[in-house]
Structure formats: structure tokens, C-alpha cells
Structure 1
Amino acid sequence: MQATVIRGGTVTNHDRAFKSDVLCVDGVIAGVGPDLDAPAGAEIVDAGGQYVMPGGIDPHTHMQMPFMGFVTMDDFYTGTAAGLAGGTTTIIDFVIPSQQQPLMEAYRTWRDWATKAACDYTFHVAVTWWDQSVHDDMGTLVRDEGVNSFKHFMAYKDSIMADDGVLANSFQRCLELGAMPTVHAEFGEMVFVLQQKLLASGITGPEGHPLSRPPVLEGEAAERAIAIAKVFDVPVYIVHVSSSDGVDAIARARARGQKVFGEALAGHLCVNDAVYRNPDFTFAAGHVMSPPFRAPEHQTALWKALQSGTLQTTATDHCSFCAAQKAAGLGDFTKIPNGCGGVEERMLAVWDEGVNQRGLSPSEFVKITSTNAAQMFNLYPRKGLIAVGADADLVVWDPQATKTLSAKTQFSKSDFNVFEGRTVTGIPTHTISGGELVFKNGDLRARAGAGRYLKRPAFTAGFDVLGRFSRPAGVATSSGNAK
């Protein structure tokens, strides 16, 4: 029997906080209450003066991702290990088929890569093209593999961009299956036109990246995706909302009663577009991601949207390219691999900015870093909650301790950190994943292969996705979990 007792902390769920011990036995929470007895040989964690929270869920990562001619620095082991160091115990990564590649073929490839993961994981699957085989594979993924969300890129023309016809067919299929369509909202055709215009005018450095992807193009794409979802009466989730334009599109739809949800990235919440004007190419290129970092007024809009419930989750879009890879875009910003890290820093940056500076409560922090994602993607109450029977995924959080974020001290294998030099107050001291103490006061004990693949049941008329999801009766759902 493997047992851990966390003593004397303030257990903090999304709805309340209370002083309590937590007993973990064989990977499951076996007790929550005062003065719990410790089984013989149990590891004792002193959480006095600290919060004990559900482990973080990052609903948007890209480990070992091949993109723009490169593969990200972090594979499924190093990336999930870095996440554990930052209090994240579950990730939702992305299977991204190339054009004409069968979805099931790509899915099997990603499942193979992920066997080395150190924490629990699951997948969104991207729909990048359409024919009858895609329609059929979506059904197989939902019914047999526990996939309940499908990603659609409205950007990256001539690569993985899905046109409106693909979106319409896929959204309708999602409704039939009880799956959630998710969308990268940028007007890809216009981005391409602006890129060519900027290059022709002599703007070739990283400063051209945000100029080619203005906020209005995010707003337009969000409106278009929302309109398609409205026609089919299917919920839609907009990933990495970065601008007030995107926020406003979601807010208007929600005010009409439409089921539209949104995600903010820790980077977009804490870093602004001044980084692209830095004359150091390596520094500026290190921040190239899509959508780009925005002006401070957009950050304010994102925080207000999280506080009001217009946006529900925080993520990272962890996609860790290094300086040598980014250098491929020297002289042509369109060739800079898009992506930044953050899985290790998300919870620290969101706590420091959100709780310490913008007035979020610890329970609100739990909502936007764990519980809402668990509920939205049908992992709750197994994940995102400290209660008897839930998975023993926990983080012990010292609200007074400080840390300076830096590429020099991070566990991620990238050589760049978008939060470089930021000193945060409020950090994890212990992370428990699957009942194992995997991080203790800077000592990372992650094990390759310890993570489990999580099957996520399809949505039903009786399941609340922070708003009711209805689908035709008689469509089978999948459940259960597998290694």
C-alpha cells in the first residue's frame, strides 16, 4: 500500500476552503478531515500555513510537436515533468494530423509518443481536412478512445488550416457524437495577405509577427466559428483568446444564451507586445507565438473576462522551441517557429498576477487552473476536486514563498522563458500525482511512464459543461481510463 498524508493545510476547492488533513492511498484520495490517522509507513507532508489544492490541469499543450520543420524541445516526459514542478498534474495535448493523414493514424502516433509521460494526459484531436474517413474516425475516437473534443485551426494557410466547409462538417459531426469543437480563431487568409505585404515592404523581423495578426482578425474568426456553432446548436470552445476582440465575440454570444467558452494563456495574461520591439532578434523571436502577445489593454480585458466568467480556463499552449530553431526565421518572420513554453510557470504566474495583484480568491484560482477544465472536458469529479474517491493529484501551495522565473533554473528543456526575470510570490512546495510525491521543495522526482491516458466520456444531455450540452438520444458514450 502506498500512502501519503498531507497535514495541517487549508484544503481549497473551487467552492470552499477549510482546514483539513488529506489521506491518499494507492493513487486515490481516501480521507479528507481533521486529524486523520496515518497508515504505517505513510509519507507525511507538513502543509501548515499553506493551501492544499487540486493539481493543475493544463488544457492546451504541445509536447513533442512537429511544426514548421522542427520538433519542440520538450517531449512527453520532459514537458510533463516540468508541469509537475509547477503544480500541473494533468495535460490535454493535441493530435494534429497532416493534410490527408487519417485521424486514427495520427492518434496512434501521438499515443505512442506519450507513453513516457510523467503525469496523466489526454488528447484533443485536430480536424485538418474532411472526407468520409474523417467522419468515421471521429466516431471511433469518441466511442472507443475516449476523445470528446476536436480542434480546428482557422490559421496556418497551406498547412493545417481548416476552411469553413471543414468547420461546418466537423461541428455537425461533433453534435452527433456529443463532442466539443474547439477553435484556434484567427482569419488565416488575411494573416497570409498581411504577411506578404509586410515582407514586401521590408518588415522582415519579429516585429512583423504581431502586425500580421491584429486583434480584429481574431475577433472575426471567433465570430465566424460562433456563427457556425449557432447554426448547429453545438457548444464551442475558443482556445487562447488573446484580445478584447475575441473576448467581446464570446461575451455577445453568451449574452444571447449561446454555449460558448474561452481559454486564456498565462503568457497572454502576463506578457505584452513590447517584447516584439526589442532589437535583440533572439529575445523577440523567442516570443513569437500565435496569436501574438497583445497591448496591455487587451490583458486587462482578459483578466476581467476571467473574473466575470466570460472566459473559464487558463492554459499555456506549451510549445517549446529553442533559440537555434527560432533562428530559422532570421530575415523572414514567417519562418520563425510559432510557440512558447509555460507549463511549468502557468500556475505561479496566474497566482502572482491574479491573486496577489488583481484580487482573485484562492478558490477562484482553483476554478481557472483546474476545476473548470475538468468539468468542461468531462474529467470531473475525478480531477479538479479534493474529495474522497477523486484521484490523488494535489499541490501544496505556499502563498508567501517567492521564486524568480528563468530559463536557467527551469526544468523544461527549452533555453528560453517568456517570464524571464519575473519574481513571483506564491509557489508550489509539493506536488502529488497519482498519490506519489513527485516534487518536494525543488526536488523533482518525476518518473517517465508514470502518467496514465485518460478516456473522457462523450457529453450527454445530463452533463453540465458549465452550461447544458444536449445531443441526440441513442448516441453511445465511452468511459473508463487506460494506461
Structure 2
Amino acid sequence: MTVIIRGGTVVNADRAFRADVLCFGDKVVAVGESLEAPPNATVIDAGGQYVMPGGIDTHTHMQLPFMGTVTADDFFTGTAAGLAGGTTTIMDFVIPDPRQSLLEAYHTWRGWARKAAGDYTFHVAVTWWDDSVHKEMGTLVRNHGVNSFKHFMAYKNAIMADDETLVKSFRRALELGAIPTVHAENGELVFQLQKELLKKGVSGPEAHPLSRPPEVEAEAANRAIAIAGVLGTPVYIVHVSCAEALDAITRARSRGQRVYGEALAGHLVIDDSVYSNPDPEFARAHVMSPPFRSSHHQQALWHGLQGGNLHTTATDHCTFCAEQKAAGKDDFTKIPNGCGGVEERMAVIWDAGVNTGRLTPSEFVRVTSTNAAQIFNMYPRKGVIAVGADADIVVWDPNGMRTISAKTQFAKGGFNVFEGRTVQGIPTHTLAAGKHVFDRGELRAEEGAGRHIDRPAFTTTAA
């Protein structure tokens, strides 16, 4: 299949320029002015629009078994929704049960992901430690294209990694040329605060942010960064939500430490007033970890993106319907944690970032695609429009407008945390591996069309 995108302004992380883009099969084969194309080529008119690399969402949870239920979006519906929003690649998480083989869990997730409509790749969580985990980390890196390992410092009595596991796993990741990623919340503090709040009779969703104050996140971020610093390994902090955790990243980077930070679209624009909403169903729908914060923290996160101390934007897409969230109607600790956003991330960040002058279009590309591709070793296959790159492309109308609503979304779950927000700047066309999968509101996603993306190891010191 040949597709030519004519008349647009190509925006990469380093520059913007007028050019046509010619795609053949799943690759970009030419970028330049007045390109010739075969008569049977599909022509996309990008006049007055931007032509950008497809988005990479570094943090999603499709078909995740969690807190006694399974997320509403599977790998087909979730990736299809992403394509509608301009995201062409997701980075999901394999999360083994305690004592479960990493490889066994990995193959389970790979099986679930076969129905994906867009490209996908996996971080693998290390939730426990013995010699078999050490060995299987090597197998995953060498044979399965995994170069990142996730560590939950939260969720005590479930998947929380203690300090011994962090140290041993970080060291092994360094040997293998992989990067550790961290969910930074002090799980013991959260556990104790939850118990205290319940004892006081505070059991509704308003208790959720009280049990996870910024200090809980900051302590864990500082600890993870310190461990990584002693061992000499890079570290990636997922869903940074507060100024204090950002400060820890900024200090470490000023010392030359390789620390990377991720911000969620929701944390950039939604504040903690959602938890005091008089409708408990509405408040429960916003329960995620870390929780939404005050506007002070939102401004800090934007400064982090602008200043280069936060590098990627994601969603932590993890959708649950109202009935699933109602499992915690009498006990906030039983509300399944998670919100959506894979479909809205790009438009929300453009509207709140580019339209306000916080980000340039090239900086937008950097934080929605290019940095992720570079940090996780998918560049230049992903994250850039250039000859030889994957034909993952979004044509973007900076003047187009859309009011976000659960009634019109493609994602499942029946709720949208961005409900009612009108955004200016929306995708009109999406190409995924050269296929025209979204055309001005028409979603043409194909189940099983997505590909697993192997990510090579970085420089290694061990076989």
C-alpha cells in the first residue's frame, strides 16, 4: 500500500518544515517537496495541518487483572482508541503475581496482546526476587526485546518490591543494558495511613488522596534515585504527580545522574477537587495512584516538561466501569485504581501545552513521542518522520475542535476524566504501519494488526 501525505508541515522534535511524506508498506520512503507518487497511491491532503510522528504512550494497562477485576479495555479496544487519538504505539506492563515466573507472565500478556490494533511493547515488572528472576531478566532482554523493568514501591501485601528487590533488580538491569522504571510511593506509609483513615470512619473516595500525600511519593522517588545513583544505573520514574518528586529528579539530574520522569495528561490538567464531588460515583471514577493533586503541583509538572526534567507524557490508561469502581463504595481501599486517557492524551496536551505557549509544536512531539522512543531504544524506528522510520504518522489540525465525552469516545469504561473539556488541536488522520486507520472521525482499526516492538538492550556488561 502506498500513501502520500501532501501539503503539510512536518514537525519533528528538532525542527518543522514544509514537505510531502511518501509511505510504502509500513515505512516512510521519502520526505520532501513536490514528491511524485504512483497513480494508485492514497492521497491525504494535509494543507494547513501538521504532520507528526505517531504518539507513544509510555504507560498503559490493557486487560489488566487488578484488585479482583479486569480492566474494561482489552488490547484491541485500548489500542484502537489510541489510534483515534493519534497514539500509534503503547508501552504496556507485564505484572507477574508474587512468586510467578516472569517468563510465564510475559507469555500470558503476549497472548492477550495478539488482538492489538496498534503497535505495542512491554515493561516487565519485578515483584519478587530469587535466582530465577535474575536468570529470566536476562532471557527477556536477550530473546524477547525487553529493555525495561518495572518496580512498584506501593501496594503492600501484593506487588510491592522491597529495597532488597530494588537493589538486586537495578543491578541486574544495569548488567543487561536495561533501564529500571519505578512507581514511586512509599507502600508502608500508604498502608498505615489507609488503616488510620478507616479507623476514623473516613471511608469514601475523599480519603484516597489523604492516604497518598505528596510526601509519600517524594520519599519513594528520593529512595529509588539514591539506590540508582549508588549502583550507577539510569532510572525512569513513572507518573510523577507532585512538585516534591519532581524536585528529587531535578536535583539528581543537576548532579549528572541519568534520571527520567514521566507526566500523565490527567495530572497536568485535573485537580484534587474531583475527590470532594458530592456524587460518589464521580469521585470514585477519579481514584488512581498517585492521586490528582492541587493546581500548585500541576504548574510544577508543566515547568518540569518545559525545563527538560520531565521527558515523556503518558496516561496510565486503566479503565474500570462504574460497577467495578463500586466495589469500594464502603471502603476506599477497595476501589480499583485507574483512569482512562489513551484516546485524549495528545489533544489534551496540545490544548493545554501548545495553545497556551507552554510548549512549541516540536516540544510537543518531543514529549509525546520522540523522547519515549529514544529513552526506550525505539528511535529512529519510532518517534520521527524520516526515511526508514515506521509509517506511524498523525495529521494534526491545530484549528480543529472537539468536546471530549464518554458518549463519543472509542475507549470502554463508560466514563471520561476529561468529560466536557473542549480542546483545540485534534488528529484528522492516523497512519499505523502505513495503514490509514483513522480518517476524520472514522476509525478503521483492525484487530490483530498491531505488532510487538522489540527494544534492543543498551550497552551491556554481562552476557
Q: Tell me the TM-score normalised to structure 1 length.
A: 0.95
1:395 counterpart = 2:376:
no
Which whole-Å deviations, capped at 9, do the CAs of 1:163-196 have from their partners, x for residues lacking one? Answer: 1111011001001101000000000000000000
Which whole-Å deviations, capped at 9, do the CAs of 1:202-236 have from their partners, x for residues lacking one? Answer: 11100000000000010000000011101110000
- The amino acid across from 2:365 in the alignment is V
Distance 1:88 1:214 in 2: 31
Secondary structure of the structure 2 residue equivalent to 1:357: coil
Which whole-Å deviations, capped at 9, do the CAs of 1:66-106 have from their partners, x for residues lacking one? Answer: 00001000000000000000000001100000000000000
Structure 2 match to 1:408 = 407
Distance 2:119 2:219 in 1: 35
Cα distance, 1:40 vs structure 2: 2.5
Equivalent runs, 1:316-355 vs 2, <5 Å? 316-355=315-354
Which whole-Å deviations, capped at 9, do the CAs of 1:447-471 have from their partners, x for residues lacking one? Answer: 01101101100012xxxxxxxxxx4
- The amino acid across from 1:291 in the alignment is P
Structure 2 match to 1:481 = none
Aligned positions, number: 463
Equivalent runs, 1:103-142 vs 2, <5 Å? 103-142=102-141
Please report the RMSD computed on the Cα atoms of aligned residues, expressed in angstroms.
0.6
- The amino acid across from 1:4 in the alignment is V
Which whole-Å deviations, capped at 9, do the CAs of 1:355-400 have from their partners, x for residues lacking one? Answer: 0124310000000000000000000000000000000000000000
Equivalent runs, 1:18-29 vs 2, <5 Å? 18-29=17-28
Cα distance, 1:279 vs structure 2: 1.1
Structure 2 match to 1:191 = 190
Structure 2, unpaired ranges of 5+: none
- The amino acid across from 2:5 in the alignment is I
Structure 2 match to 1:445 = 444
Distance 2:281 2:19 in 1: 48
Equivalent runs, 1:196-275 vs 2, <5 Å? 196-275=195-274
Distance 1:235 1:311 in 2: 14
1:30 counterpart = 2:12:
no
Distance 2:299 2:33 in 1: 40
Structure 1 match to 2:90 = 91
Secondary structure of the structure 2 residue equivalent to 1:150: strand
Distance 1:130 1:454 in 2: 27
Structure 1 match to 2:64 = 65
Distance 1:39 1:433 in 2: 20
Cα distance, 1:26 vs structure 2: 0.7
Equivalent runs, 1:336-375 vs 2, <5 Å? 336-375=335-374
1:301 counterpart = 2:281:
no
Cα distance, 1:41 vs structure 2: 1.1
- The amino acid across from 2:385 in the alignment is I
- The amino acid across from 1:58 in the alignment is D
Which whole-Å deviations, capped at 9, do the CAs of 1:24-49 have from their partners, x for residues lacking one? Answer: 00110011001111213110000000
For the 8 Å contact 2:306–2:358, the answer to whether it is kept is no
Distance 1:284 1:257 in 2: 41
Secondary structure of the structure 1 residue equivalent to 2:140: helix
Cα distance, 1:414 vs structure 2: 1.1
- The amino acid across from 1:351 in the alignment is W
Percentage of identical aligned residues: 70
Distance 2:50 2:99 in 1: 48
Distance 2:371 2:25 in 1: 26
Structure 1 match to 2:54 = 55
Structure 1 runs (4+) deviating above 6 angstroms are none
Distance 1:333 1:376 in 2: 36
Secondary structure of the structure 2 residue equivalent to 1:29: strand
Structure 2 match to 1:11 = 10
For the 8 Å contact 2:302–2:358, the answer to whether it is kept is no
Cα distance, 1:413 vs structure 2: 1.1
Which whole-Å deviations, capped at 9, do the CAs of 1:257-289 have from their partners, x for residues lacking one? Answer: 111110000000010000001010110000000
Structure 2 match to 1:463 = none
Cα distance, 1:350 vs structure 2: 0.3
Distance 1:413 1:293 in 2: 21
Distance 2:259 2:359 in 1: 23
- The amino acid across from 1:42 in the alignment is A
Structure 1, unpaired ranges of 5+: 461-470, 477-483
Distance 1:187 1:327 in 2: 26
